[in-house]
Structure 1
Amino acid sequence: MNGKTVMITGATAGIGLATARDLARRGARVAVVGRDEAKTRRVVQEIRTATGNTSVEPWTADLSSQTAVRRLAQEFTQAHPALDVLVNNAGGYWATRHTTADGLDHTFALNHLAPFLLTNLLLDTLKAAPAGRIVTVSSGAQANGRINFDDLMGERAYSGMRAYSQSKLANVLFTYELARRLDGTGVTANVLHPGVVRTDFGKEDSGRVFRALYPLVRLVMTSPDKGAETSVHLASSTEVDGVTGRYFAKRQPTKSSKLSYDRALAARLWEVSEELTGLAAPQSTDGLVDDPGPNRSVR
């Protein structure tokens, strides 16, 4: 990975941190994206000390905010003309419904719309690399996911696990559609299940059932380092040169849910995601996409 530039979102803890540390150890220039500036800077210093790699950079953005995503993409592309690897790792679970600054469901906004928007905004820098790679962290929960276009934001009926599973299926549908759209560009896009990993997953709003079961489930969970292995593999291994539009688990390509291969569903999700992120909106004079306004929803 010497000489390669990698961006990892949600890289200040858990799988993201383990991924950043491993790729830094392999010599990559690593952009560590975190929500809290002080914590991000502290983690970057820890990675530099642990790996001896001084080319580890702190980048701060609350990815649930589309304004923050746009700013991150704009500032990063100004600093780096090419991006070799984008690891869309940030995500989370909330037992109750929360809304973002954009008036969207927090789970769908962070887990799906953030990587959708960030990836699209960084495509030119990925295409500028010799062989750009996009790696998105999904979950085995994608197998239980359904895309409910009639209540995409969970305004009528919210379930934390249903919202999470929907967002993780969206990760897979997005990746497959992205791979099709990037055919012939040299940029690859793959998605993965990291396994059941010991992290702070659901810590902010876990719910009573989750809190009751977590101590038992934790006993069979793997470490963040183990959970990061597939992300690192897809980011760095020559074994996956040119491989695109695949779902991985334990560093091996495998089948995702039957629904995830529905091309019509993927195309519709893409169109809805463009609407919700304002990607089709005209550019403002400062280079950022004009904000279409809060409380956007799709019926």
Structure 2
Amino acid sequence: MSPDSTDAAPFSTTYSIPDGWGLHKMPDLTGKLAVVTGANTGLGLCTARELARAGADVVLAVRSTARGTTAAADIRAVARDSRVDVRRLDLADLSSVREFTDRFLDEHPALDLLVNNAGIMATPYRTTADGFELQFGTNHLGHYALTGRLLPALTAATAARVVTVSSDLHSMGRLDFGDLQSKRKYGRLRAYGTSKLANLLFTAELDRRATAAGLSVRAYAVHPGFAATSLTITGQPALVQRLMSIPTTLVAVSPLTGSLPILCASTLPDLPGGVFVGPRGKSGMRGAPGVILPKENARDRAAAVRLWEVSQSLTDTHYDFSAAAVSDSPAK
């Protein structure tokens, strides 16, 4: 079956995550290997720590190796039997993505879990090293390239998973294929929403294509709820930071609680691929992990296919599902 011919509905909600899912329900992950991007703080650190506590070996893929080293020491203190490595990865620079993946593939034949967690939010207009709008380039294109280049290791594992952290703010996103880099019009929150919308569309298309190719790799998207992390205020003006600190203090859940949907999607046995996991609460900010339905803009198959093709072209990263390999197109 061609990857473009499957009629599977994106983000099915027919599966129900068992009530009361929590850290105590995580399976033994001894012998498993995970890569977590942005693992030096917040949700990424909590995710990496709990994976290691469950027995997994973890690679912390971080922009700052100094902070990553501190995080690794924190994790090793509670997970002495797991191997924790720190590797530099700057998702806003495709040369850094290539360096990370080349080294990883040299060191590891297989990868059981990739958690695409790192992200930035509502920054002033800037561009990546490759000229992409910073939020779209970091949150989506960097992870698209990373996942594609790690595909050989993912397919070499048994039932590997790719978990990508999105947000309910994907509802604010709008994919203008005539201005994906927001050169004509830029709004901080809308650009963030667009990058999170891209995360969802990427997840749906990745799971469809892998399934159609007969691979055991499954893809999941996650919404952590309103978690108290630095993501919501980093890069904001001082007044905005002060204002944001109020709801963050009063309403937000802890980073550990926010990481539960990530950990659930990463480890729950028999979880169907291509689902969106997030808090069950009516507000979407808190609650036990459940399978949720993203907004209609994230369920547009035509947009997912077009985004995939554009992302492939922009990053020069080609997923070859039939050969379980990935190659770069010639430099332009």
- TM-score normalised per structure 2: 0.82
Correspondent of 1:142 among 170, 175, 195 = 170
Q: Distance in 2 between matches of 1:280 and 1:182?
A: 14
Question: Residue in 2 aligned with 1:120?
Answer: 148
Q: Matched residues in 2 for 1:120 and 1:261: separation? A: 22
Q: How do 1:160-171 and structure 2 match up within 5 A?
A: 160-171=188-199
C-alpha contact 1:31 1:57 (8 A) present in aligned 2: yes
Match of 1:222 in 2: 253
Contact 1:85 1:126 in 2 (8 A): yes
Match of 1:266 in 2: 304
Question: Following the alignment from structure 2 to structure 1, what is the Cα–Cα distance between the partners of residues 132 and 202?
Answer: 19
2:116 is matched with 88
Partner of 1:238: 269
Q: Which amino acid aligns with 1:103?
A: G
Q: Which runs of 4+ in 1 moved over 6 A?
A: none
CA RMSD of aligned residues (A): 1.8
Alignment match of 2:187 (pick from 155, 159, 162): 159
Q: Which amino acid aligns with 1:246?
A: V
- TM-score normalised by structure 1 residue count: 0.91
Identity %: 38
For the residues of structure 1 that align with 2:254 and 2:51, how far apart are their CA atoms? 17
The 8 Å contact of residues 86 and 135 in structure 1, kept in 2 or not, is answered as yes
State the distance in 2 between where 1:173 and 1:288 align. Answer: 22
Residues of 1 paired with 2:217 and 2:329: CA distance? 27
Amino acid at match of 2:93: S
Task: Give matches, 1:195-210, under 5 Å.
Answer: 195-207=225-237, 210=240
User: Structure 2 regions of 5+ residues with no counterpart?
Assistant: 1-28, 280-288, 320-325
Choose which of 277, 289, 293 in structure 2 pairs with 1:248: 277
1:133 and 1:70 map into 2 onto residues whose CA distance is: 21
SS in 1 for 2:59: strand
Q: Which amino acid aligns with 1:131?
A: A
Shift of 1:46: 1.7
Secondary structure of the residue aligned to 1:149 is: coil
1:33-44 matches, cutoff 5 A: 33-44=61-72
Name the CA distance, whole Å, in 2 between partners of 1:192 and 1:265: 19
**Alpha-carbon distance, 1:191 to partner:** 0.2
Give 3-state SS (helix, strand or coil) of 1:179's partner: helix
Gaps of 5+ in 1: 282-286, 294-299
Count, aligned residues? 286
1:48 lines up with 2:76 in the alignment: yes
State the Cα deviation string for residues 115-174 of structure 1 (Å, max 9, x = none). 111111111111111110010000010122111112211111111101000000000000
Letter matched to residue 293 of structure 2: K
Question: Comparing both structures, which one devotes a greater share of its residues to helix?
Answer: 1
What letter corresponds to residue 236 of structure 1 in structure 2? T
Tell me how far 1:204 sits from its aligned partner: 3.7
Match of 2:218 in 1: 188
Cα distance in structure 2, aligned partners of 1:265 and 1:290: 23
In structure 1, the partner of 2:200 is 172
Question: 1:93·1:206 contact (CA, 8 Å) conserved in 2?
Answer: no
Aligned to 1:61: 89
CA distance in 2, matches of 1:223, 1:69: 30
Helix, strand or coil: the match of 1:150?
Answer: coil
Deviates more, 1:133-142 or 1:33-42: 33-42
Letter in 1 for 2:277: F
For residues 2-24 of structure 1, what are the alpha-carbon distances to aligned partners after superposition, in whole Å with 9 as ceiling and x for unaligned? 10000000000000000000000
CA distance in 2, matches of 1:210, 1:139: 20
Partner Cα distance (2:127, 2:46) in 1: 29
Helix, strand or coil: the match of 2:231? Answer: coil
Mapped to 2, the partners of 1:149 and 1:210 lie a distance apart of 30
